[in-house]
Amino acid sequence: MEKRVVIIELDKERGLMTKKIRVLIADDDPTILENYSLILELDRSQSYLVETVRQVNDVMGAIKRFRPDVVLLDNHFDDNEAGIDDLLPRISALYPEISVVIITAKRGSDSDPILRAMGWSAEGFLDKPVGKDVLRSKVLEVYERKQKEKIQ
């Protein structure tokens, strides 16, 4: 059985111990990766530990190594047409404790992959471009929902 490391840090302003939410961002756009990483890392109300991957073939290895709480997964990667069609079933089967949020620029134009993603337990969707408050609240929402499920 694998051990999971939980990172807890002291919030000096409030004197509280808070868990860092581990987020893997998978997108082939380096600007998206940089922006979303900064949005989460600079959040003053919650601590995040962020890792990014640019290629679809690196996603499963990053999940195994990094063990994120939440994966923000691009709907479409330039290097692989399959994208979520290939990844989501594997993530759901191997790592049911991970929340997956699909980030997409295509939801209005092509709903087939989105409908399939719902069947593979995607926890939610974010339409690009994603504002900082929307990104932070969605990550926190799906993380907290999964934590409540673990307790029940």
Q: How many residues does the chain have?
A: 152
Q: Which CATH number does the domain housing residue 97 bear?
A: 3.40.50.2300
Higher pLDDT, 132 or 110: 132
The per-residue b/e assignment along 16-36, b for 16 or more CB within 10 angstroms, e otherwise, is eeeeebbbbbbbbbeebbebb
Residue 1 lies in a domain: no
Residue 73 has pLDDT above 60, yes or no: yes
Inside any domain, residue 142: yes
* Domain span including residue 103: 8-151
**Residue 3 in domain:** no
The pLDDT tens digits for 40-61 are 999 999 999 999 999 988 999 9
In a domain, 49, yes or no: yes
Identify whether the C-beta of residue 43 lies closer than 8 Å to the C-beta of residue 136.
yes
**Number of compact structural domains in the chain:** 1
